[in-house]
Amino acid sequence: MNITALEKIALSVRALSIDAIQKANSGHPGLPLGAAELGAILYGELLRHDPADPAWPDRDRFILSAGHGSMLLYALLHLAGYKDMRLEDIKTFRQVGSRAAGHPEYGMAGGIEATSGPLGQGLAMAVGLAVAETMLAARFNTAGHTIVDHYTYALAGDGCLQEGVSAEAGSFAGHQGLGKLIVFYDSNKITIDGSTDLSFTEDAAKRYEAYGWQILRGSMYDFEEIGRLTAQAKAEHKKPSLIILTSIIGKGAPNKQNTADAHGAPLGPEETAAAKQALGIPGDFYIAPEALDYFRAKRETWGKTRESWQAQFEAWSKENPEKRKDWDNFHAGKALPAALPVFAQGDKIATRSAGNKALGAIAAANANLVGGSADLKGPNAVGFPNSGVYSAKDRTGRYIHFGIREFAMAAISNGILLHGGLRAFCATFMVFADYLRPALRLSALMRQPVIYVFTHDSIFVGEDGPTHQPVEHLAALRVIPNVRFLRPADAEEAAEAWTMAMDRGEGPTVLALSRQNITVFPKEDPEWKNTIRTGAYIVKKAPGGSPGVVIIATGSELGLALEAAALAVEKKVQVVSMISRELFESQPPAIQESIIPPGVRVVCCEAGVRNGWERWAKPEDIFSIDRFGESGPAGKVAEALGFTAGALAAIVNR
């Protein structure tokens, strides 16, 4: 271990961070100054990576969970030789067009493994990365060749450990015995408001020990100790490790270090000068020559390590051609076709149940599809044949019992997708989408095709009452950019919705599925299975072909619309199923007008708030539920709320 060179790397990290943040007049200098030594040894000695191939499948992964300290990561990526992170990006830190965004943004530069910054989610995504490593290792490693064998590292701070999602994920990781997950805890006891004593006095070490983690302690500023602790963490195969490193926030800034002032604001001209003098930094955006020499030599070593793995991978491929074929399919990013279930007109089946049949068929064809629910396997109908249960004792299982941890479930699913090689779904009741929404937002922001199965999608949940009857959730989920929201109207649509979700490569899909049985209805569009991919199609044409009124409905309300159309025969009603409003609204005008003719009166029908439907209908023509529900049998609840076919027909006839 070349401690002198590591010290120069740490100095360079501090120098780049101070100047980038000061030039931007925005940023968080506390973490990169306080954790520079860890960054130096992590990227210089501990991490198995190759900047020449940032996507190398068997690289170690690192997530900066405390993403506000992004300059630590950017400085290390630049020093290590990741070509995407140029010095120019660092000099334009936090500016439009710079790869050095305010918080790490997935996809903006090689070496950024996840979008982080919402505290705690990085740690939870690291759990997902570690889960994926165990799954792929169990699937592809053989007695003769180990081609999946890497570690997942994360750096978390006091804020990360205070957020509830890290507790959920930490509990899950300990239960699952994720021994190749190593989390460094930057313990400086300072947050934005001041000392952590203001609100955070628990013994986090004992908490994580109770979760089933190995707890190790050391100093942020002792290279050899960090190396020993990391080796000790690697030697523990049955427990994830939390390495608590005592640190000084803003270390090197003589008047601001160890204070909240160092956390989230530039040091300022005077403190910048004082810090540079104290640290011995000779100029602006200084990089020590010794740091560059060290990494230049390291890149040759890293390249040889990757080439050695590649040779082993090729040997494994020759000996295991079927496994290699599976490997290529797993990593292709495309779903293989499945023999979907067939339903007959008149069948009465809940879309959650129909979705389950489709899931079984799709999972049989796509062995890389994994997932589970938040303790709702039966109610969500997301179990599938021959899946096995993923556990510390059996990594071959594809069904994951996430426990009652919705937020962590979604964040872990993000991590599984980010790892590569696997597709993931997760499930809960729609009303509990509120618990996981921040992770769904990151799915959308990172363009990860996680599939979210949300069942019990309306007041027709019935007896569980308003706490379990989503009314605002349809609108709330639709407004998240890049979320594909699919609300199928019957069993046939549910099966197609699953294929639409699997075919989507960039961004998450929400499947909104019913608890109650729904009748499979006839569809007058003979090409509806293709047309539905525009977001909508004509279910029932108006008599004579020229409609006087178009009813747009989604989900279980499509049946209600067909009943209402039968009660309003004089209006020449056309009924449209709109499985995805946002997808349809993205279509060219010609497609939209072929389904909803311009100038024709439109009535919208959905068992939720009206928000968003104003684009298609006047407020008085939106049949919606703009209040919380009631407790009782589904039909009685609908009657009590006036949500009936007769009431819809009255609007149509108006």
Question: Which residue ranges make up each domain of the chain?
Answer: 3-302, 348-519, 535-653
SS3 157: strand
* Three-state secondary structure of 284-330: CCCCCHHHHHHHHHHHHHHHHHHHHHHHHHHHHHHHCHHHHHHHHHH
Any catalytic annotation for residue 37?
A: no
Is the pLDDT at 544 greater than 90? The verdict is no
Distance CA 299, CA 294 (A): 9
Question: What is the predicted pLDDT for the residue at 243?
Answer: 98
Please, which residues have CB within 8 angstroms of residue 583's CB and are 6 or more apart in sequence? 484, 533, 534, 535
625: confidence class by pLDDT, cuts 50, 70, 90: very high
* Mean pLDDT over the full length of the chain: 97
Is the pLDDT at 569 greater than 80? The verdict is no
Q: Decide whether 3-302 matches 535-653 in CATH topology.
A: yes
Q: What is the fold of 3-302? A: Rossmann fold (3.40.50)
Question: What is the predicted pLDDT for the residue at 349?
Answer: 98
Type of residue at 400: I
Phi, psi angle pair for 648, to nearest 5°:
-65, -40
Domain 535-653 has CATH 3.40.50.2300: no
Taking the alpha carbons at both ends of the chain, their separation in whole angstroms is 82
0.95 exceeded by the pTM? Answer: yes
Pick the catalytic residue from 105, 113, 133, 406. Answer: 406
How many residues are there in the chain? 654
Distances (CA, A) of 466 to 46, 58, 212, 446, 634: 52, 48, 37, 33, 12
Residue range 258-305, pLDDT digits in tens? 999 999 999 999 999 999 999 999 999 999 999 999 999 999 999 999
**Architecture of the structural domain at 348-519:** 3-Layer(aba) Sandwich (3.40)
β-partners of residue 550 are 574, 602
